[in-house]
C-alpha cells in the first residue's frame, strides 16, 4: 500500500509540474492546486502508521492525529487560495480576453509603453510568420500561388 501511495504522489507531483510549465493560466493554476494536493497526500503518508484506532489505550501504536488536523487545515487554506486565484484569472480574462501568459505579457508591454522590448517584437514577428505560413498553406490547397 505504501508503494501505491508513493507512486500516486509521484504521478500527481509530475502532473503538477507539467501543468505549471504551460502557457495557459488556467493550467498553471490547476498545476498549483495539484501540487498542494500532492503535498497534503505526502504529509498524510509520512504521518501514517499502521495501528489501531485512536480510542485504544496509549501502549498501542496509533496514527498521529496532529498530521491529519494539519492536513485538513492545509486543504481548507488551499481551497480558499484557489478560489481567490481563479477569481483573479476571471478578471484577467474579462479585461484582456485571453489567459495565454505569452499574449498577456505582450499586452502588458504594449500598454505600459515598453513596446521597445525585444520580447514583444519577437512574439509579434512569430505570430506574423505563423499567419503568413497559414495563408500560404491555404493558397496551396486552393491551387493558387502566394
The predicted-structure confidence for 22-68, as pLDDT tens digits, reads as follows 888 889 999 999 999 999 899 888 876 665 554 556 666 666 678 88
User: What is the gyration radius of the CA atoms in the chain, in angstroms?
Assistant: 24
Q: Is the pTM higher than 0.85?
A: no
How far apart are the C-alpha atoms of 93 and 104, rounded to whole Å?
A: 10
Q: Which of 12-16, 36-40, 115-119, 137-141 has the lowest mean pLDDT?
A: 115-119
How far apart are the C-alpha atoms of 39 and 45, rounded to whole Å?
A: 10
How far apart are the C-alpha atoms of 55 and 50, rounded to whole Å?
A: 14
The predicted-structure confidence for 70-96, as pLDDT tens digits, reads as follows 888 999 999 999 999 999 989 988 888
Query: First and final CA of the chain: distance in angstroms?
Result: 62
Q: Please, is 45 exposed, middle or buried when counting C-beta atoms within 10 Å of its C-beta (0-12, 13-18, 19+)?
A: middle
Instruction: Read off the C-alpha cell for 87.
Output: 477569481
Calculate the alpha carbon distances from 85 to 9, 20, 80, 103 in Å: 24, 14, 9, 19
Instruction: Tell me the sheet residues that pair with 24.
Output: 100
Local structure of residue 22 (DSSP, 8 states) = S
What does residue 125 show for φ and ψ, rounded to 5 degrees?
-65, -40
Amino acid at each position: 500500500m505504501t508503494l501505491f501511495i508513493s507512486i500516486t504522489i509521484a504521478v500527481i507531483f509530475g502532473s503538477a509540474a507539467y501543468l505549471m510549465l504551460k502557457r495557459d493560466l488556467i493550467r498553471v493554476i490547476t498545476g498549483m492546486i495539484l501540487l498542494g494536493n500532492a503535498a497534503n497526500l505526502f504529509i498524510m503518508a509520512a504521518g501514517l502508521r499502521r495501528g489501531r484506532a485512536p480510542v485504544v489505550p496509549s501502549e498501542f501504536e496509533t496514527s498521529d492525529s496532529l498530521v491529519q488536523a494539519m492536513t485538513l487545515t492545509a486543504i481548507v487554506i488551499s481551497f480558499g487560495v484557489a478560489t481567490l486565484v481563479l477569481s483573479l484569472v476571471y478578471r484577467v480574462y474579462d479585461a484582456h480576453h485571453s489567459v495565454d501568459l505569452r499574449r498577456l505579457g505582450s499586452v502588458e508591454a504594449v500598454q505600459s509603453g515598453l513596446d521597445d522590448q525585444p520580447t514583444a517584437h519577437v512574439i509579434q514577428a512569430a505570430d506574423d510568420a505563423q499567419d503568413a505560413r497559414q495563408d500560404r498553406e491555404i493558397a496551396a490547397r486552393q491551387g493558387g500561388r502566394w
